Amino acid sequence: MKDVTIGQYYPVSSPIHRLDPRIKLLAVILYIVAIFFIQKFVGFALVAVFLLAAVFLSRVPLLKVLRSLRAVLFLVTFTMIISVLFYSSKTAEPLWAWGIIKIYKQGLINAARMGLRLILLVLGPSLLTLTTTPTALTDGLESLLKPLALIKLPIHELAIIMSIALRLIPTLMEETEKIMNAQKARCADFDTGNIFKRAKALIPVLIPLFVSSFRRADELADAMDSRCYRGAKGRTRMKRLKLHFRDFAASFVMLALFFVILVLRYNWFGWAFVAALI
């Protein structure tokens, strides 16, 4: 559970840390959209190089970023296996067959695409939370959602809720690990037996975890109330968000990457060549 990096912040001075949180949030959204447009392995390689460059500029250790994959490694592996086993083709010959199980070349290619897509989807948002404080994320999210205030949506409250939830993820993971270690010291067994036995063994973990979560929420509410928190009304900020040249440069780089992905996806170079010949 220590491998869950969502909500963790790595304090260091770097160009990525100094970027405006609104730009980083929009860049991550564009990054996720771009990943779903990729169909060729050249595109995955391009995004991987871009992500490695961002990690280098952020001065966050690469192993710390990659550690977030360990939490979803089973999901990635399971998805790839299912993609290989359930792919079928009426025209192509299977590479290997055993009974009703047939493995095709295109199935392996689709599984590789899906695995790379899931890995990149995890690494991008992980780098966002590692380089942005929860307070900055809240301010950036609230600023981006400000137009929705025109239809009377409680933007500030929604941003605070998301920020608190994001901030408490590492705390709850640490609390869960402590409870599991305490139960193992009392001879609890979480690793053997069938799925129903393992689920039943988690009951002594879930009950104290829920109690601890409610107690923590109550203490947080009392702390916010004692500091006269009344929502967005009359609230000011110590740091105001302002865009700088580095933010515009980062936006240009992200838009350029998205444009290149679209070119690779729809083969715009080929269409441009045909149009030039016509």
Measure the CA–CA gap between 159 and 62, rounded to whole angstroms: 29
Measure the CA–CA gap between 23 and 17, rounded to whole angstroms: 11
Its domain, for residue 34, covers 21-132+241-271
Q: Can you say whether residue 7 is alpha, beta or left, with left for phi > 0 and alpha for psi between -120 and 50 degrees? A: left
pLDDT tens per residue, range 134-177: 778 888 888 888 887 777 777 777 877 877 877 777 778 788 88
In a domain, residue 150? The reply is no
Residue 274 reports pLDDT greater than 50? no
Structural domain total, the chain: 1
In a domain, residue 43? The reply is yes
Q: Give the confidence band of 275 by pLDDT, cuts at 50, 70, 90.
A: very low
Q: Give the confidence band of 235 by pLDDT, cuts at 50, 70, 90.
A: low
* Core vs surface per residue 157-195: b (16+ CB within 10 A) or e: eebbeebeebbbebebbebbeebbeebeeeeeeeeeeee
What end-to-end distance do the CA atoms of the chain give, in Å?
59
In a domain, residue 220? The reply is no
Nearest-CA neighbor of 154 among 166, 168, 167, 141?
141
Token pair 């991987």 is found at 48
In a domain, residue 194? The reply is no
In a domain, residue 38? The reply is yes
In a domain, residue 214? The reply is no
In a domain, residue 61? The reply is yes
pLDDT tens per residue, range 21-62: 889 999 999 999 999 888 888 888 999 999 999 999 999 888
In a domain, residue 264? The reply is yes
